[in-house]
Amino acid sequence: MNGASVSVSKIEKVFSGAGPQPLKVLRGISFEVQAGESLSVTGPSGSGKSTLLHIIGALDYPTAGSVLIDGRDISALDESSRVEFRNRKAGFIFQSHYLLPQLTVIDNILVPAWNSRRDCEEHIERAYLLLRRVGLSAFAKRLPGQLSGGERQRVAVARALLMRPALVLADEPTGALDRENAAALIELMLEMNCMEKTTLLMVTHSEYCAEKMERRIEILDGMISG
């Protein structure tokens, strides 16, 4: 498995209906990320960081422009192809872990495989492997409510990697953690980025997190600064 190359070209995003005038959130964003690279996206609240990440992850559509993942324009895909892309090519980590409270840790990690046609045993084996890699092998049968905030985010990292994604998109993954747990999570994500050979894009307010990435871009008023 190799990481995905990402080419973002002249992306614009306009929201209509939120007020008397359309709201232009992204204003011609362009940049490239090499396969296997880690990139942080920083900027103040409301600058369009999360919107950009959602467009790259096929969770939202751009108003104009294109996003090429390994040369494939995902912004032009139909909805069924976008669902397949999100399930096969991309892994997502958010500020809230979004673990299902009624499922055990191991079953939460296996959620992305629910609609998969691949061998169930293969997914189970990988889930336990990832659980070991994030340091929680003893917690497989616990419920999310029995874990700390940092532990829940570690489970979310394992879940994001289950389907061997080429691209991992993280939106403020340390935002709900204290400084110590945030630092530990970033170190884990970079370690997994290296071991799994993924491409990592992270939106963050944290200067510490941003500096740990190989490269950084800053968005101000919907445009790349500098």
> What domains lie within the chain, and their CATH numbers?
6-224 (3.40.50.300)
Residue at token pair 């008397």: 20
Question: Phi and psi at residue 188, in whole multiples of 5°?
Answer: -65, -45
The pTM assigned to this predicted structure is 0.91
Averaged pLDDT in 10-residue chunks for the chain of 226 residues: 91 84 92 96 92 95 96 92 91 92 96 77 93 93 95 94 94 89 89 90 92 94 88
State residue 192's pLDDT score. Answer: 87
CA distance 62 to 155: 31
CA proximity to 96, closest of 171, 38, 161? 171
- Residue that has been written with the tokens 């800053």 in this structure: 218
Cβ atoms of 169 and 93 within 8 Å: the answer is yes
Task: Give the model's pLDDT for residue 141.
Answer: 97
Helices (H) and strands (E) in the chain, counts: 7, 10
pLDDT at 1: 60
Token match 């204003």: residue?
A: 27
Count other Cβ atoms within 10 Å, centred on residue 181: 17
- Rounded to 10 deg, the angle between the 149-161 and 120-133 helix axes is 140
Q: Given this model, what pLDDT does residue 124 score?
A: 93
The pLDDT of residue 91 is 94
